[in-house]
Structure 1
Amino acid sequence: MVDFAAVRAIDFHTHAEEPCGCHADDGYDDLQAAMATYFGAPWTHPPTMAETAAHYRSQNIAAVIFPVDAERETGYRRYANEEVARIAAENADVLIPFASIDPAKGKLGAREARRLMRDFGVRGFKFHPTQMGFYPNDRSAYGLYEAIADEGGIALFHTGQTGVGSGMRGGNGMRLKYSNPMYLDDVAVDFPDMTIILAHPSFPWQDEALAVAQHKPNVFIDLSGWSPKYFPETLIRYANSLLKHKMLFGSDWPMIAPEKWLDAFAKAPFKDEVRPLILKDNAMRILGAQ
């Protein structure tokens, strides 16, 4: 288990991507290469989970790690949730396992979610509406949310523009409209006891994300996917005041290295008393470690 008292930070947004990247025939390698160019990532092949764990261990940072199940919409085969959980268990001193299930899998997906939480120690689930091609408040997803909520799991949703498909022809077929954070307001109303995390500064819907997080007690924001030097002023203002207990450190590894994000964070105008909340304390509370 992670020694939360000892680590210097908890990264709430890291990706387990390498096994998908091994499937050159399904196009995923081209997508990864385009994302690496977009983010300026310093690698030619994504790191394995074991390499990710070693990196985070060297940085004394714990990491929430997950795959993305978008195979129905994109044709890219998903990284098996059980495999993510197994490797996370082998590196439990730094890795916290999340899973991903396409809501279109219906009752099958809901059963899988319950099994993963009960038998594999999975703590939450990652949804990427743009990649998965669904509106988060679509009632067809509610059976899966109910399973997550019943088991005390966390639901983390990509919001805003995405580097996935950016610059590719037609955005690689991905539609940004699905990732407006306002759709999560309905989910927060209908599942008031389920912890919901809005991932990333939600460009171009930053105000909507702040409004939902301020209004709904069960909604939080992770700050991944952008360097803090590019954060909009309104996001920093709310993080320093009304939403200081709602903000979470996230890098978006392997596209952004945690130490690079932290270096930019140290130079951004966050209040000294807010920094430990963002880096670790808020995440510990969500994870039940505080």
Structure 2
Amino acid sequence: MTGIDIDAITAIDVHTHAEVSSRGHGSLSSELEAASSTYFKVEEGHRKPTLAEIAAYYRERRMACVVFTVDAEAATGVPAVPNEEIAEAAAENPDVIIPFASIDPAKGRAGAREVGRLVRDFGVRGFKFHPSVQAFYPNDRSAYVLYEAIEEAGAVAVFHTGQTGIGAGAPGGGGIRLKYSNPLYIDDVAADFPGMPIIMAHPSFPWQDEALSVATHKPQVHIDLSGWSPKYFPPQLVQYANSLLKDKVLFGTDYPLLTPDRWLKDFAALPIKDEVRPKILKENAARLFGFLKD
């Protein structure tokens, strides 16, 4: 059970990455990691904070954060940061970290069993999918066994959408294909699993209108604003965040690739209504995760 004091924090960052395990390994190959660091202009030495460092960083800023890894072992050959490590760090820092997990869809029924164990025994609140890196279409029926387990467990599903900085600039994009992350594929998932809350991660370039359409049509679908500086947000995303989706848009950064300090500085310059800002920064996520009641 979370120990987060909603009244004491200023924001909930719903999208941060655990990029190094206690043994020092990450979840990406060195080629993909180098390409993404270049793409996001990550400063040397800032790429791999430990879980304890993530907790301290967000505690200093009076924020809570959702932390997850990306398990794409079948496609990349690289094992993920263990989900259990993230959950254990959350148990040690319950005032800051909200634990999410990631399970490669290629693991099928074995992965579905892991969903129940991670939620039941480790307090995991949701699961991250990265269709482009994991090389699967979200509406592929082979992944439905995982969604069934997530819905049954009462957990949240997060899907990367749109272009990715992972592999950007590497020869052939590191073999990563963008087509898997069109948010329209998530519409099928939302229709087939109406009891599973979904977060579509990132401004969904070049499919922003598709993402807005899905989030407007499917009541359990949300959008997080991670991975981009707000100064680059498409105007229609800002318009919908201010109106039809004001209760369904969430603050997220993609830390450590993008810091909350930089994100919030640029967000302050956006024409977001005063009454909408606290919804995006904290209240919408607090309701989604059950910290606040309607």
Classify 1:27/1:84 alpha carbon distance in 2 versus 1 (closer, same or farther; 3 Å): closer
Equivalent residue, structure 2, for 1:30: 31
Partner of 1:282: 284
| 1:43 partner SS | coil
Structure 1 residues 6-155: aligned runs within 5 Å: 6-19=8-21, 22-23=24-25, 28-44=29-45, 45-155=47-157
**Match of 1:211?**
213
- 2:8 is paired with a residue whose SS is coil
Which residues of structure 2 form unaligned runs of 5+?
none
Indicate whether 1:181 and 2:204 are aligned: no
Shift in Å at residue 87 of structure 1? 1.3
Q: Who is 2:229 aligned against? A: 227
Q: Aligned pair count?
A: 289
| 1:179-205: CA deviation from partner (whole Å, max 9, x where unpaired) | 000000000000001100100000000
Query: Which residue of 197, 200, 210 maps to 2:202?
Result: 200
Report if the CA contact (8 A) 1:73-1:131 is conserved: yes
Q: CA deviation at 1:22?
A: 3.4
Q: Judge conservation of contact 2:29–2:76 (CA < 8 Å) in 1.
A: no
SS in 1 for 2:6: coil
Q: Percent identity, aligned pairs only? A: 63
Q: Give, in angstroms, the shift of residue 41 of structure 1.
A: 1.6
Contact 1:181 1:198 in 2 (8 A): yes
2-structure distance, mates of 1:82, 1:37: 29
Structure 1 position 55, deviation (Å): 0.6
Alignment partner of 1:19: what SS?
A: coil
CA contact (8 A) 2:31 2:174 kept: no
Give SS of 1:156's match. strand
Distance 1:27 1:238, change over 3 A: closer
Q: Are the counterparts in 2 of residues 22 and 29 from structure 1 also a CA contact under 8 Å? A: no
Alignment pair present for 1:241 and 2:243:
yes
**Letter paired with 1:58:** E
Q: Is the 8 A contact 2:130 2:160 kept in 1?
A: yes
**Backbone CA RMSD of aligned residues:** 1.4
Change (3 A) 1:168 1:20: farther
Query: Residue 42 of structure 1: CA displacement?
Result: 2.0
- The secondary structure found in structure 2 opposite 1:224 is coil
Moved over 6 A (4+): none
Alpha-carbon distance change, 193 to 104 in structure 1, aligned in 2, over 3 angstroms: same
> Conserved in 1, the CA contact under 8 Å of 2:151 and 2:196?
yes
Tell me how far apart the structure 2 counterparts of residues 94 and 200 of structure 1 sit (CA, whole Å): 22
3-state SS of paired residue (2:191) = helix
- 1:31 Cα deviation (Å)? 2.1
Q: Is the 8 A contact 2:28 2:76 kept in 1?
A: no
Asked whether the 8 Å contact 1:223–1:248 carries over to 2, the reply is: yes
SS at match of 1:282: helix
Tell me which moved more, 207-216 or 47-56.
Answer: 47-56
Alignment pair present for 1:264 and 2:266: yes
8 Å Cα contact 2:25/2:81 also seen in 1: no
Q: CA deviation at 1:23?
A: 4.0
Please give the TM-score of this superposition, normalised by the length of structure 2. 0.96
- Once residues 111 and 121 of structure 1 are traced to their aligned partners in structure 2, the CA distance between those partners, rounded to angstroms, is 15
Paired residue type of 1:128: H
